[in-house]
Amino acid sequence: MGISFRPFNGESDSGLISRFLVDAKELGGNPHEDPQKDCAAYIEHVAAAQARDPGFAAMMLDDGEVIGFVHCFPVKAKPEVGFLTFDYLVPERRGKGLGAHLMDYAVRTLKTCGCGRIALEVSKNNAMAIAFYRKHGFETVKERDGILVMRKRI
């Protein structure tokens, strides 16, 4: 298996990331009210993160085939904290240990920026994602409006 990462490319990857986002929202039981608008706003958010550093949003490939995506960045107001906005693995590759590569990428990227903690938010309805994050050392620190806020030291 040849796992690698490359920066997100807005021209060629936006459609794929939009599909990933819609799938992830449905898995969490929170489908988009306006998927086109939400996905366009998210792509703008990714572009803003990449303007700071192209490595903050990356496509995960296995022998050249895109199988996942990760988006993380240091929080401007608290640079010691990194935020994992989105990580996604295509359904047919889940449950095979490949998600660890996404987490490793995020941790390496954020450590390089001087972050000592990583935080994320996940729908409390997304049991699969919550189990994945707990397996990788995240703890729930609070819950609000159906969202769990989780974090860990890196």
pLDDT one-digit tens code per residue, 63-110: 999 999 999 999 999 999 999 999 999 999 999 999 999 999 999 999
CATH architecture, domain 3-153: 3-Layer(aba) Sandwich (3.40)
Strand partners, 58: 7, 70
The predicted pLDDT at position 83 comes to 97
Segment 119-143 mean pLDDT: 94
Token couple for 87: 């990580």
Q: What angle do CA 99, 103, 109 make, to 5 degrees?
A: 145
Nearest in space to 70 (alpha carbons), one of 80, 60, 81: 60
3-state secondary structure of 28: coil
What residues does each domain of the chain span? 3-153
Top-confidence residue, 1 or 101: 101
Q: Look at residue 1 and tell me whether its pLDDT is greater than 70.
A: no
Distance (Å, rounded) from C-alpha 113 to C-alpha 115?
A: 6
- The answer to whether the beta carbons of residues 117 and 153 sit under 8 Å apart is yes
> pLDDT above 90 covers what percent of the chain?
75
Task: Find all residues with CB under 8 Å of 152, minimum gap 6, and list them.
Answer: 117, 118, 136, 137, 138, 139
| pTM (two decimals) | 0.91
